[in-house]
Amino acid sequence: MKNTVAARIVVLFAWLLPVAAQCEEPKSLALVGGMLLDGRGAAPVHHAVILIRGERIVAAGSAASVRIPPGTPVIDTSGATMLPGLVELHAHLLLVGHGDIASWFAWLEGQPGISTESVMALSARQLLSAGITSAIDLGGPLAESVSIRDRISRGELPGPRLSVSGPWLTSRPAIFPAKYQHIVATPEEAARATEANISGGADIIKTHGALTREQYRAIVTTAHDHNTRVHAHLYDEQELRDAFEAGVDVLQHVGSAGTAPYDPELVRAIAASGRPVVPTAAHRVWVLPATRDFPERLEDPVLRRQFPPAMWAELQRSFKGFADSAYFQDHAREESHREESIGQWIRAGAVIGMGTDSGSPLNFHTDALWREAKVFVDHGMPAPEVIVALTAGGARILGKQDDLGTIEPGKIADITVVRGDPLLDMDALANVQVVVKGGVAYDHARPVDPRTLPPAAR
């Protein structure tokens, strides 16, 4: 945080210390002075005010239209942009950007002092510090995933509002440990695995490719019987077609990793259906060149402070020769397809959600989402539409649009304040100053004591 902002608040807690409910929830809070983007794509409101009471927004608009009660704690957002809390639709809290997924899990097994939940808690802090107030964790052991979600919900840990999938369903193992996946061979097994995840507390179901249309149908039918949405990890065109025709709710990865463009008729059908696609465009084919061009990003001292020393040392070891790692072995082919892969969805007018595969190699939770947003702007998606996709659109894909995604009276006060104007330069999303989640302000994922904030004048 810049010094001018830091002077307005008191930092209460060190980065890796556990957070309990040390400060009372403010009765009211006002964000004053910044440009307001409401999440719906309306024209910006300049020099705006957002007034919060408890966890809800009670007023938002120009300074002339919003009266701030005397004594209300005020956060000065002058020179900044206030927008709804960002929504990350594809995160992996058990990954942290390590250069090789298989060796990351092998390293963790040899670290008895580092638990599954401690890694997830670290990732959750990083996501919140990046302005992300809601996220989907797509793949993890079920009990730990549910536990970390609930601990965040109770206020025991800082992090975004989590929706968790638990183990994904697939017919062939991926490179993750066994407890991260259910291997299914028949539609009946797929239905039973779906039931098991839901009964264990999963919010959504994730499939991981290599399934038949009948298996997809069994999963979708079972999940929908429980009012649960299904997200599918997809690259292959036939698998995409099968998942789409079986009624999968959200189509993840489609077009990322430089997948060759799909049949235009299939793309048009998906776009016309309104079924969301989450292409996770940047996580291979833009992150790798960006890191080749600026390998210093892997040694960022701000990022370094967010990791225990032993974990940071392991990350640095894993980055040696990153361009030649197995994860990026097809980069030449992938990069040759990347513009067309992402452009097909933009040109078709598809409902696009913003997800990043954050935590995958070189793809840190702290910067994955702004990089994703930048890719879409750079390839023809208007910046206001990208902001909507990051906020109201993400809330709609989560099924939480009644409470989240826009800045308006009655909505939960999830707000991200960034330095600069993301409508002019999407890189502004990298400069997070303050995050408000449920009416509580955070500086770098640490709660701000409202008693240290200047009060509104009488």
Tell me how many degrees the CA angle 391-394-396 measures, rounded to the nearest 5. 110
pLDDT at residue 303, as a whole number: 95
pLDDT at residue 154, as a whole number: 97
Q: Are 127 and 163 in contact (CB under 8 A)?
A: no
50-82 CB burial, b ≥16 within 10 A, e <16: bbbbebebebbbeeeebebeeebbbbbbeebbb
- Tokens at 202, concatenated: 């999963």
pLDDT at residue 258, as a whole number: 66
Is-same-fold flag (3-85+405-452; 86-164+253-398)? no
- Tokens at 210, concatenated: 């290599």
pLDDT at residue 35, as a whole number: 98
* Nearest-angstrom CA–CA distance, 121 and 149: 9
Q: Edge-to-edge strand order for the sheet containing 74-76?
A: 56-62, 48-53, 28-32, 74-76
Amino acid at position 295, single letter: P
3-state secondary structure of 397: helix
Q: Are 258 and 330 in contact (CB under 8 A)?
A: yes
* Nearest-angstrom CA–CA distance, 91 and 136: 6
pLDDT at residue 12, as a whole number: 28
CATH architecture of the domain with residue range 3-85+405-452: Roll (2.30)
pLDDT at residue 14, as a whole number: 34
Please list the ranges in the chain whose pLDDT falls under 50.
1-23, 25-26, 458
Domain boundaries, the chain: 3-85+405-452, 86-164+253-398
Query: Minimal CA–CA distance to 237: which of 262, 208, 209, 210?
Result: 262
3-state secondary structure of 227: coil
229-261 CB burial, b ≥16 within 10 A, e <16: bbbbbbbeeebbbbbbebebbbbbbbbbbbbeb
Q: What is the 3-state secondary structure (H, E, C) of 159-186?
A: CCEEEECCCEEECCCCCCCHHHEEECCC
Question: 86-164+253-398, which class in CATH?
Answer: alpha beta
Q: Are 453 and 447 in contact (CB under 8 A)?
A: no
378-389 CB burial, b ≥16 within 10 A, e <16: ebebebbebbbb
3-state secondary structure of 434: strand
